[in-house]
Structure 1
Amino acid sequence: MLKFMGRSLSLSILSGAIAITFVIIMFLMAVVLVGERPVVRGLACQFGISSDCAGQKLRLELQQEQKRLEQMRGQNRDLMARNQEMEALLKRLASLDHAASSYVIFYEDSNSSPTVTTGHTYASLLDPDTLVSAHCYLQVEVKGAGTRQVNLGKMSDGAKISLRNYSKAELKQADLSARELSALQSRCQWPEKSG
């Protein structure tokens, strides 16, 4: 009986081993038939069993490139947002420049009476070296008319000074002679001529 039990145990172990081998073979056939060869190939490459690992390396490189591409897309989105911020700042700066354009700096010669004022008009705060024009005038009391501005001259067209920008009627009302006019014009503070 012992002999019979030993044989039955041996047969049980043998049939178990055959069943396990059959299951493994069926699993491998199913993997191959279903198309999961990359899994098997990947395992073979990982453990160094197969020498055909070029496809696996290419897939890994492709995945890495896709990750890099996503990172670059994120950076691109950030740069686009920064670009929009810069464009908004540029528009704001342009509107500020427009609001500040054509400003005037006044120079007064009040050493003797009457005070002679010269205004230098510049293109904008962003372009403070571009002189557009200059004008020289004084304020005088006119009998019966109050205070009036009398123009003594102007400068424009690239530092060309015109001392004939005055009205003879204004001079007559202000009671200024040609000699006084010349003395007043010499007190105008014209910008330095460029060129």
Structure 2
Amino acid sequence: MAEHPIPLADWSRAPQFRLFRGYDRPHYALTTRLDVTHLMARRVAAGLSPYRACLFAIGCGLHAVPALLMRFRGDQVLRHDRTDLSMTVPLQSGDFTYAYVPFAPDFPVFEAEAMRRIEAARTQQGLEANSGARDDVAYLSCLPWLDFTALDNALPHADDCIPRVSWGKIVPEGDRYRMAMAIQVHHALVDGAHLGQFFDQLQRCLDGL
């Protein structure tokens, strides 16, 4: 996966980057509710997995917004062409481990690889957590027990700029189905307009499956 340096001298957003890089708490999280009525209908009609569909849709949303593919290392900013999706995988013991799935824009290709890697993760020894050696990932987690209204994540330090996406329980609302989803980002790289684009593309993806 290629990465492209972003020269600060030519980047229109450099002043915002420098501002928020100096904050003690530069991260913020936004939660919204998605319409998953089409997804639930497809679940019955075509046997579509809501979980893997959400993984794919999140990948679509992330890769539609260049700011969500940006990372910084010190004062160097770069943009990845593509990132892996790292998701929590529950274990029979009640604990969890992590899987890493490369994003592919074709859903059947992505789903097949996601199924393979998630099953492989269940047999691995250890947590396989990212040590910080790579930043070409996004962190994903599903909380199917909760219809949450807000969510915050544990973060190792102020310079962690990897997006984190979580989604919750699918609940009926009249003749529709809704689902909460939250994303947490570093404000030095990502603004509210970017998150609007992310959720718009994600919803389009869910509606198109």
TM-score by length of 1: 0.22
Higher strand fraction (1 or 2): 2
**Normalised by the size of structure 2, how large is the TM-score?**
0.21
Task: Report which structure shows greater RCO (CA 8 Å, sep ≥6).
Answer: 2
Higher normalized helix content (fraction of residues): 1
